[in-house]
Amino acid sequence: MPCTSPVIVALDFPIVADALNLAKQLDPTKCRVKVGKELFTVCGPMIIDELQKLGFDVFLDLKFHDIPNTTAMAVKVAASMGVWMVDIHCVGGMAMMQACRNVLDQTKSQTLLIGVTVLTSLGIDDLKQLSITKSPEQQVLSLAQLAAEAGLDGLVSSAQEAKSLKLNFPHLKLVTPGIRPEGSSKDDQQRIVTPAQAIADGSDYLVIGRPITKSENPEQALESILASLA
Ligand SMILES: O=c1ccn([C@@H]2O[C@H](COP(=O)(O)O)[C@@H](O)[C@H]2O)c(=O)[nH]1
């Protein structure tokens, strides 16, 4: 059965058995899963295969950022593994984003190509330290404009920017990490939003890690998030 849930569970684990054990507690019709830098670095492409065998759509979140050819070739390899979604950093620039778009088009790939705007762990002071004088929202909108021109399928941002993004770029899928159910720890995230608010503001997909994976009962944590969206 295809997955219609907006939730993507971030499997951030240093041990493959722990990631697979968590995944086995989840229902692939009720969430998708995300493989990020930690898990991919420890086990490589085999984890994609294992999760697909369990029935999950996989978001490969390696946030590629390099010269255009290198990034496009990495995206091509990711797509050849059949991942549902892959992401690149918008700050890699227009040529890099277009090269990735072209390589997926040439191979008629169905993999969704998503551009990371401003990380949800960053606030206005962090941007100032990086000599970015715009607010996070202004910076997200500027990068989103480039991503739209490059033909990307969607964006990663905080759900705090979802309303403006949906208004300006209604055709782009909005993938929003930094999701925190009421009362849960902020951890290292700064631009956080509750699951229900994120959906109400236009998020298409909610990336949720620790509020589910560190919960005593991950399956119940996911169910309770889904119930809050109903
Ligand atoms: O801006 C971004 C981009 C990616 N992430 C990733 O999402 C998850 C969030 O995990 P939590 O435990 O729910 O904080 C994590 O894998 C990040 O690498 C992000 O948080 N912000």
Find out whether 34 is annotated in a ligand binding site.
yes
> How many domains are there within the chain?
1
Residue 220 maps to which CATH number?
A: 3.20.20.70
CA distance 117 to 144: 7
* Residue 187 falls inside a structural domain: yes
**CA proximity to 207, closest of 155, 140, 153:** 155
In a domain, 90, yes or no: yes
Spell out the per-residue pLDDT of the chain, length 230, in tens. Answer: 889 999 999 999 999 999 999 999 999 999 999 999 999 999 999 999 999 999 999 999 999 999 999 999 999 999 999 999 999 999 999 999 999 999 999 999 999 999 999 999 999 999 999 999 999 999 999 999 999 999 999 999 999 999 999 999 999 999 999 999 999 999 999 999 999 999 999 999 999 999 999 999 999 999 999 999 99
Is 2 a domain residue?
A: no
Q: Which atom of ligand 1 is nearest to the CA of 158?
A: 1
Which string of DSSP letters, residue by residue, matches 97-151? HHHHHHHHHHTT---EEEEE-S-TT--HHHHHHTT--S-HHHHHHHHHHHHHHTT
Is residue 1 one of the residues assigned to a domain?
no
**Range of the structural domain that residue 114 is part of:** 7-229
- Among 9, 12, 59, which residue has the most ligand 1 atoms within 8 Å of its CB, making it the best to mutate? 12
Looking at the whole model, is its pTM more than 0.90? yes
Separation of alpha carbons 195 and 198, rounded Å = 5
ipTM here: 0.99
Distance 122 CA to ligand 1 centre (A): 11
180 carries a ligand binding annotation? yes
The rounded Å distance from CA 177 to ligand 1 centre is 5
182-197 CB burial, b ≥16 within 10 A, e <16: eebeeeebbbbbbbbb
